[in-house]
Structure 1
């Protein structure tokens, strides 16, 4: 069992705008002209990771706090459809967090968040993890927004202390971080409790460190994603091992990094490598296989709108 801990939210994704003619022959732009309609999509970095793992066929549980509103019900239904265990999901009457996406010409996504008073901020750490938990994955907004951030941090440290494999994808959303220096210091304090660290190139620049520096602080491996250029891993045994990206017509990149998280966990689980020693000892060819699978999975996600990670058969073919 792999547990994914973190937020579930609704992405509001722009659709192609339909021009509206002026009313009654009036000149000027009517209200709303030029604004693309927004379509709600199930999302949140950890949520997408859990769904992707479920679709790949890995036994997965989601550990979070989800609203009892209509969006929350839809989020739960999405997890169940993907085969994810939701028995560790807490519920709350507060509204669901919203993330308004903006899509660049290259398909890259930026976000504005509406997080005040939302349900997932009030997460409390469970007394114990599900029986048979082999790894726990953390990341994104859930490690920023208090009071839930401290609860997720405690869960990270407790899981590591119990010998459970831990995966961290900080997935930086700078607009949510009020004190960048304080967050960078907090990030460094997590590293001794992290088995596998995964960052994007953009994350690495914002955090101001290198894979080698982070590796020296505790993780057994550091994976860096570079968009269409591919991804690489740095370990003490192998040095740097990389694979190229998979060419694809990009619709948007929403959920691509989360799909990489899931594919890495899926690949490591298939090799019985969900421990610090096993991750550190994986051979270069095995890493190329795991990274290649992750690159193919992310390419499928980029080929369709919103966070729609692939099923295993889509990646294998």
Structure 2
């Protein structure tokens, strides 16, 4: 089973102005939440480890997990509010962002005493790894479970939440020796390193990472192990938006590893060049499906070919 830790929120888009304010469109979001749903849609057993509000927004998040087949056995509840990420435009038409997360439910996670006996992979990333007590809790969980499960980490840097890149670099530096599968975007890499992707990947591998996955948007993706390097181009697609594309890529990549019984350190390290090409091809194809849809509408396993 995959255990996905992190935020669950609503992205709220300010649309047309009305005589008394704005028409708003609220969409369920949060990279870890999307990943959990994506894994479930890839027919993988998955549980979400987060804290949800007891308010109506939290109830909607909980119901979505249940509807998608994500286990809620590890979900904690709180009277705190649900995080909101607001997106609008300023007077010049430039996108403007406001984030309301301080003291919200997804920052109040307590480390469970144990994980389910069938837990195989612990997935985490994004802003809950760098804010307040939830970051402390997640570090404690990773340190405790490192000998027992694989760790999959996606920094998913969000400067609208934590602007100081040094905070993200510190977290990534701590995570690398505790990570088996590292997925990051080219934008993440530019912020934390700004250098050569091959050099960064080999440095990560030298610290203990078994598999590094780098998404490069329309240019495709690259993978590294200690002995292999592979890159693929993204399939041509009519892009509606890229919301959830990175989460889709990670869900599909992890599902590919599960289907190929490669969720063990020795198997990750011994993946051949052909295997990496197959993994990347599967993941970029899944991401392309999401890009051709409005919002984070991740594909189901039946919509993709055999891995």
SS where residue 203 of structure 1 aligns?
Answer: helix
Deviation at 1:14? 5.1
Equivalent residue, structure 2, for 1:270: 259
SS where residue 296 of structure 2 aligns?
Answer: coil
Equivalent residue, structure 1, for 2:125: 139
SS where residue 123 of structure 1 aligns?
Answer: coil
* Contact 2:49 2:75 (8 Å CA) reproduced: yes
Equivalent residue, structure 2, for 1:227: 217
Unaligned runs of 5+ in 2: 90-94
**1:122 and 2:108 aligned:** yes
TM-score of the superposition, structure 1-length normalised?
0.88
Equivalent residue, structure 2, for 1:86: 72
Deviation at 1:72? 0.8
**1:74 and 2:60 aligned:** yes
* Contact 2:157 2:168 (8 Å CA) reproduced: no
Matches within 5 A, 1:60-71: 60-71=46-57
TM-score of the superposition, structure 2-length normalised?
0.91
Matches within 5 A, 1:195-206: 195-206=180-191
SS where residue 295 of structure 1 aligns?
Answer: helix
SS where residue 168 of structure 2 aligns?
Answer: helix
Equivalent residue, structure 1, for 2:244: 255
* Contact 2:186 2:215 (8 Å CA) reproduced: yes
Equivalent residue, structure 1, for 2:161: 176
CA distance in 2 between partners of 1:149 and 1:252 (Å):
30
Q: Give the 4+ runs in structure 1 shifted more than 6 A.
A: none
- Residues 240-295 of structure 1, C-alpha deviations (whole Å, 9 max, x = no match): 20111122221211111111111111000001111221111111111111111111
SS where residue 199 of structure 1 aligns?
Answer: strand
Deviation at 1:229? 1.0
- Residues 141-184 of structure 1, C-alpha deviations (whole Å, 9 max, x = no match): 1102211111111112222132x111000000123225432431
Over the aligned positions, Cα root-mean-square deviation in angstroms equals 2.0
Equivalent residue, structure 2, for 1:315: 304
* Contact 2:130 2:171 (8 Å CA) reproduced: no
Equivalent residue, structure 2, for 1:23: none
Larger-gyration structure (1/2):
1
Count of aligned pairs = 296
SS where residue 10 of structure 1 aligns?
Answer: strand
SS where residue 253 of structure 2 aligns?
Answer: helix
CA distance in 2 between partners of 1:145 and 1:132 (Å):
29
Change (3 A) 1:287 1:13: farther
